[in-house]
Amino acid sequence: MVAVGVIGSGAWGTTLALLLARKGIATTLWDHQAARAQEMQSQRENKMFLPGITFPETLCVTAEIGEAVREKEMLILVTPSQRMRENLRLVAPHLGSETLLVSASKGVEIESLKRMSEVIAEELPESAGRIAVLSGPNLSPEVAREKPTAAVIASQSTEVAIACRDLLTTRHLRIYTSDDVVGVELGGALKNIIAIGAGMTEGLEYGDNAKGAFITRGVAEIARLGIAAGANPMTFVGLAGIGDLIATCASPLSRNQRLGRRLAAGEKLDDILASTHSVAEGIYITRAALKLAERFHVEMPLTTKLSQILFQGLDPHKAVLELMMRDPKNEREGIM
């Protein structure tokens, strides 16, 4: 029988585990907290992140890392991005020589500026040829409820991308393959910055023209950085780029978008963080993106202003005014 492990039991990790288990795959979901794992295993539900969705019998929850990692065809790594490395170190002693590794996290490590696949290859070097990354417009409450969804899985190895795709595909989740690992990872990570900003335009009641403009200039900005980092420009008009932006910037289900709306309402970042268990990757990728922008000499005016709002208390109205008053530009300047 095929067996899969899922490392990280937040909303997305639980959703992916549910999908696999519903296909009859023996799925082990790992939580880093024993009490949480026990609670989910006995209640047959993740009440914190996906209330109301019952676990099938083929899904087992554990806090014992070896149980989640040993003898698995595929391991899905889906912790918050800043926690990925420490969890890979727990995985390493138990990992088999054939296991496929899929990163489903959307972020860049702030300290090293490495993408998740790079962190994985660094910590698990013997598995470096079996890594894939999953991204796309994938709001977990919709995916878990089997609403039609598409995603993209990228790997340097076509065989690995296809094998992971085949394990993850369901009647409700259509997955495209790609060889643009850099673009798929950076698209999924960087869109979180734009999702926070889009939430802010909504919270400030600036209307749909402002939101449309913000998202469009946002794509230009994140594509500019991605291309400088080696991504294929076309990936930013694909599922990991514009696709994910449309979903997250439009949906009240997006945690990053909600964060933007709360900041616009005047709440302080620390208070928002203290009020939730969910990760809003946009906060961390904002820092990482600005460091990457410096490395690649790329201009990121929207990200710069968002960073000032998040970390220096800049008033969002003032930030928007400052963006509006920038020097006029040609629309395509700095993109292609």
Ligand X SMILES: NC(=O)c1ccc[n+]([C@@H]2O[C@H](COP(=O)([O-])OP(=O)(O)OC[C@H]3O[C@@H](n4cnc5c(N)ncnc54)[C@H](O)[C@@H]3O)[C@@H](O)[C@H]2O)c1
Tell me the catalytic residues: 191
Can residue 256 be called a binding residue for ligand G3P (CB under 6 A)? Answer: yes
Question: Any idea what DSSP says for residue 326?
Answer: S
Can residue 115 be called a binding residue for ligand X (CB under 6 A)? Answer: no
Q: Which of 318, 207, 203, 193 is nearest to 267 (CA)?
A: 203
Say which residue the tokens 């991605």 belong to: 226
* Cα–Cα distance measured from residue 58 to residue 62, given in angstroms and rounded to the nearest whole number: 13
* Cα–Cα distance measured from residue 293 to residue 121, given in angstroms and rounded to the nearest whole number: 23
Q: Considering only residues 195, 242, 293, 298, which one is a binding residue for ligand G3P as defined by CB under 6 A?
A: 195
Residue 142 near residue 164 (C-beta atoms within 8 A): no
Q: With CB cut-offs between 5 and 8 Å by kind, which of ligand X, ligand G3P, none does residue 283 bind?
A: none
Q: Which of 255, 253, 226, 229 is nearest to 238 (CA)?
A: 226
Q: Minimum CB separation from ligand X for residue 317, in Å?
A: 28
209 is in an annotated binding site: no
Any bridge partners for residue 5, and if so which?
A: 28, 75
11 is in an annotated binding site: yes
Q: Which CB, 32 or 299, lies closer to ligand X?
A: 32
**Nearest-CB residue for ligand X:** 10
Token pair listed for 308? 């000032």
CA 150 to chain CA centroid, Å, is: 15
Q: Considering only residues 4, 5, 6, 9, which one is a binding residue for ligand X as defined by CB under 6 A?
A: 9
Q: Considering only residues 87, 103, 127, 248, which one is a binding residue for ligand G3P as defined by CB under 6 A?
A: 248
Say which residue the tokens 């040993």 belong to: 70
* Residue count, binding to ligand X (CB under 6 A): 25
Q: Which CB, 62 or 117, lies closer to ligand G3P?
A: 117
Token pair listed for 106? 């959307």
Residues of this chain that bind ligand G3P (CB under 6 A)? 106, 137-139, 195, 244, 247-248, 254-257, 281
Which residues would be at the binding site for ligand X (CB under 6 A)? 8-13, 31-32, 49, 78-81, 83, 87, 104-107, 138-140, 278-279, 281
Name the binding residues.
8-13, 32, 106, 136, 140, 191, 244, 254-256, 279, 281
